[in-house]
């Protein structure tokens, strides 16, 4: 076991190193003033000038929301002034990982020096903080190239809905958190309820209500595992998994989906490993699998080798970017656009046709492009792009 002095030195060095990395980012972004950082930070008002100055002073570890607001402001300033930043400087996931490593060192310092009254903790979380951006789009320079869009009229080939008696949907979301480090996401409950209702709505959705498992604010891995086992052993046609909530990254950059009792510094035992989840879904008795992720860094799901055959994965954002939760909106940004597409969107409403997943992706991506948001990501294996979850419901004829 390291001595108390070694632990203290390690914690202080971690804070100084982290602050040095923030200073280096600021310099590479063009050395914006603290006033400029305050103006450009996302979410709005999350980075007062005094907080920005404290973040680079190296005296104590800034909170995670303050850190991410600082990074977002530097990236935005660089884009505003046509300054090219290295890709890793714009990778919000990497910054989260760096902060977690520093936080662990600080926690060791705190536990090793409590008797001496030493306090080197990060400041309290700001009320508006979160890892989801609460307002506005990410900087244009971080969005990447726009995809090539197909026409918004669905490609009426051979799309089909799930066999209701042989299919299963799991709609999962976490919006309430016990940890003060994980900000609440009130829109998640609305997401979960609306997605489940849409998928099981008679005449619209392709799933039965009694074959749709809703997991809202699941407390632990056991509750999730039990629901997964029931679904994966009862499905023979289409298995759908939807998730909305915060996400965490471990030291290797692997994606974890949070639960109500999740902790930043211990995702292995308090959050759902996407890699393990994907393996469980791949081993299900389903012919086709659909995975929809509305969380930060969701595109990392496409980088795992655990995705099974005949699977369609739709991600709210890229491996390095936040998902959006606009303040005051009923739904998160991605799920709001997804629901609009699932309910027909801009499809010709006189038609009575199934809406294939390839068309759903195109519709959501077009909406995001029009709103200046980062692009969703997808992966399709087999012929799952022609699978549909809902249909266009034509209006009822009016009386003469």
Q: Which tens digit of pLDDT belongs to each residue from 168-227?
A: 999 999 999 999 888 899 999 999 999 999 999 988 999 999 999 999 999 999 989 988
Domain shared by 77 and 192, yes or no: no
Last residue of a domain, one of 129, 155, 175: 129
Cα distance between residue 214 and residue 174, in whole Å: 11
Cα distance between residue 96 and residue 322, in whole Å: 11
Domain shared by 85 and 198, yes or no: no
Determine the structural domain holding residue 14 and report its residue range: 4-129
Domain shared by 185 and 288, yes or no: yes
Query: What SS3 string covers the chain?
Result: CCCHHHHHHHHHHHHHHHHHHHHHHHHHCCCCCHHHHHHHCCCCCCCCHHHHHHHCCCCCCCCHHHHHHHHHHHHHHHHHCCCCCCHHHHCHHHHHHHHHHHHHHHHHHHHHHHHHCCCCCCCCCCCCCCCCECCCCCCHHHCCCCCCCCCCCCCCCCCECCCHHHCEEEEEECCCCCCCCCCCCCHHHHHHHHHHHHHHCCCCECCCHHHEEEEECCCCHHHHHHHHHHHHCCCCCEEEEEEECCEEECCCCCEEEECCCCCCCCHHHHEEEHHHHHHHHHCCCCCEEEEEEECCCHHHHHHCCCCCCCEEEEECCCCCCCCECCCCCCCCHHHHHHHHHHCCCCCCCCCCCEEEHHHHHHHHHHHHHHCCCCCCEEEECCCHHHEEEEECCCCCCCCC
Phi, psi of 25 (to 5 degrees): -60, -45
Q: Is residue 276 in a domain?
A: yes
Q: Are 315 and 298 in contact (CB under 8 A)?
A: yes
Q: Is residue 399 in a domain?
A: no
Q: Is residue 153 in a domain?
A: no
pLDDT of 345 reads 80
Domain shared by 99 and 226, yes or no: no
Domain shared by 306 and 374, yes or no: yes
Q: Nearest Cα to 90, choosing from 302, 322, 245, 300?
A: 322
Q: Is residue 398 in a domain?
A: no
pLDDT of 144 reads 42
Domain shared by 266 and 340, yes or no: yes
Domain shared by 34 and 176, yes or no: no
Query: Which residues lie below 8 Å from residue 136, measured CB to CB, with a gap of 6+?
Result: 42, 43, 44, 326
CATH code where residue 198 lies: 3.40.50.1460
Last residue of a domain, one of 83, 107, 129: 129
Q: Is residue 400 in a domain?
A: no
How many angstroms separate the Cα of 15 from the Cα of each of 46, 59, 92, 155, 264?
A: 21, 7, 19, 54, 17
Cα distance between residue 100 and residue 102, in whole Å: 5
- Bridge partners of 273, per DSSP, are 256
Domains in the chain, number: 2
Domain shared by 104 and 172, yes or no: no
Burial 94-103 (b: 16+ CB within 10 A, else e): bbbbbbbebb
pLDDT in tens, the chain (400 residues): 444 454 455 668 888 899 999 999 999 999 999 999 999 987 777 889 898 888 888 888 888 888 988 998 999 999 999 999 998 898 888 888 888 888 877 776 655 444 444 444 444 433 333 345 444 444 443 444 445 554 455 554 568 899 999 999 999 999 999 998 888 999 999 999 999 999 999 889 999 999 999 999 999 999 899 889 889 888 999 999 999 999 999 888 899 999 999 988 889 999 999 999 999 999 888 999 999 999 999 999 998 888 988 999 999 999 988 898 888 899 999 999 999 999 988 766 545 588 999 999 999 999 888 888 888 999 998 889 999 999 886 656 555 4
pLDDT of 140 reads 41
pLDDT of 146 reads 45
Going 396 to 397 to 398 to 399, the CA torsion angle's sign is negative
Domain shared by 172 and 117, yes or no: no
Domain shared by 305 and 374, yes or no: yes
Cα distance between residue 369 and residue 288, in whole Å: 29
Cα distance between residue 125 and residue 30, in whole Å: 28
pLDDT of 168 reads 96
Q: Is residue 146 in a domain?
A: no
Burial 104-135 (b: 16+ CB within 10 A, else e): bbbebbbebbeeeeeebebeebbeebbbbbbb
Domain shared by 217 and 84, yes or no: no
Q: Is residue 269 in a domain?
A: yes
Last residue of a domain, one of 129, 154, 181: 129
Q: Is residue 235 in a domain?
A: yes
Domain shared by 275 and 187, yes or no: yes
């Amino acid at each position: 076991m390291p001595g108390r002095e070694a632990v203290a030195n390690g914690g202080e060095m971690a804070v100084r190193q982290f602050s040095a990395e923030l200073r280096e980012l600021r310099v590479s972004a063009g050395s914006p003033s603290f006033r400029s950082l305050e103006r450009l930070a996302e979410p709005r008002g999350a980075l007062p000038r005094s907080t920005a100055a404290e973040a680079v002073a190296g005296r104590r570890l800034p909170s995670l929301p303050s850190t991410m607001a600082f990074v977002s402001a530097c990236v935005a300033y660089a884009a505003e002034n046509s300054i090219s930043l290295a890709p890793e400087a714009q990778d919000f996931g990497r910054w989260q990982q760096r902060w977690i490593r520093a936080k662990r060192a600080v926690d060791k310092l705190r536990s090793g020096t409590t008797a001496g009254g030493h306090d080197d903790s990060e400041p309290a979380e700001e009320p508006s903080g979160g890892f989801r951006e609460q307002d506005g789009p990410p900087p244009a320079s971080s969005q990447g190239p726009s995809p090539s869009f197909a026409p918004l009229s669905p490609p009426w080939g051979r799309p089909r809905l799930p066999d209701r008696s042989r299919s299963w949907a799991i709609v999962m979301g976490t919006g309430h958190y016990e940890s003060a480090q994980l900000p609440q996401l009130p829109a998640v409950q609305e997401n979960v309820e609306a997605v489940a209702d849409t998928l099981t709505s008679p005449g619209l959705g392709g799933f039965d209500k009694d074959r749709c498992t809703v997991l809202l604010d699941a407390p632990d891995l056991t509750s999730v595992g039990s629901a997964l086992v029931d679904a994966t052993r009862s499905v023979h046609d289409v298995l759908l998994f939807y998730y909305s909530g915060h996400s965490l990254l471990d030291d290797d950059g692997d994606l974890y989906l949070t639960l109500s009792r999740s902790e930043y510094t211990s995702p292995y035992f308090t959050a759902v490993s996407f890699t393990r989840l994907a393996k469980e879904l791949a081993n299900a008795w389903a012919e086709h699998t659909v995975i929809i992720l509305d969380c930060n860094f969701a595109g990392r799901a496409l980088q795992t080798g655990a995705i099974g055959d005949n699977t369609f994965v739709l991600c709210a954002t890229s491996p390095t970017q936040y998902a959006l939760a606009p303040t005051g909106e009923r739904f998160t940004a991605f799920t709001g656009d997804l629901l609009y597409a699932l309910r027909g969107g801009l499809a010709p409403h006189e038609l009575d046709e199934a809406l294939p997943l390839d068309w759903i992706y195109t519709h959501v991506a077009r909406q995001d492009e029009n709103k200046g948001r980062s692009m969703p990501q997808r992966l399709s294996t087999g012929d799952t792009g022609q699978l549909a979850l809902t249909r266009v419901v034509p209006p009822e004829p009016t009386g003469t």
